[in-house]
Homo-oligomer: A and B are copies of this chain.
């Protein structure tokens, strides 16, 4: 007893990793914690609040962006790896980013750093938004495929390495930025 926010979030991430985000319900979460569903609402204002806390945990290990354009591809790979550490990581983080103003999100620091180097402000924003979108999209796509697979409705998969696919796409995108640099 004496639930803490951290313990609840950890348990919620465990359920998501095992069964997927659609199976994360307040009632099920409460049951696995040995508590009534309403008990969760003392610690979290709503399910959205809980999902937000989960997203924050996922992003906790993201190092602050620093460096020039060449560091962009490793930053993208790092974020992608963080999102993929938990199932539906992209969906959780994406939802929270939408609720935040751009200046408080993960992409803004990238934009700022790129302005510091060689990029015009408009291009820096396009670069930051574009790379962030690619990372989120690839991670989200993989999450959806994994969910479909676990439900047995998956299409025949080409045996590929998703992280490599993203790297290729980001490399192309960064090359496009260099051309305009």
Contact = CB atoms under 8 A, between A and B. Distances in A.
Interface of A: 94-95, 98-102, 104, 122-123, 126-127, 129-130, 133-134, 136-138, 140-141, 144-145, 148, 153-156, 158, 165, 168-169, 171-180
B133 A133 contact: yes
A73 to B, nearest CB: 12
Nearest to A145: B98
B95 A173 contact: no
Chain A at the B interface: SS class: helix
30 contacts: A94-B140, A94-B144, A98-B144, A98-B148, A99-B148, A99-B153, A100-B155, A101-B155, A104-B155, A123-B172, A127-B172, A129-B169, A130-B134, A130-B168, A130-B169, A130-B173, A133-B137, A133-B138, A133-B169, A136-B137, A137-B137, A137-B140, A171-B176, A172-B173, A172-B177, A175-B175, A175-B176, A175-B179, A176-B176, A176-B177
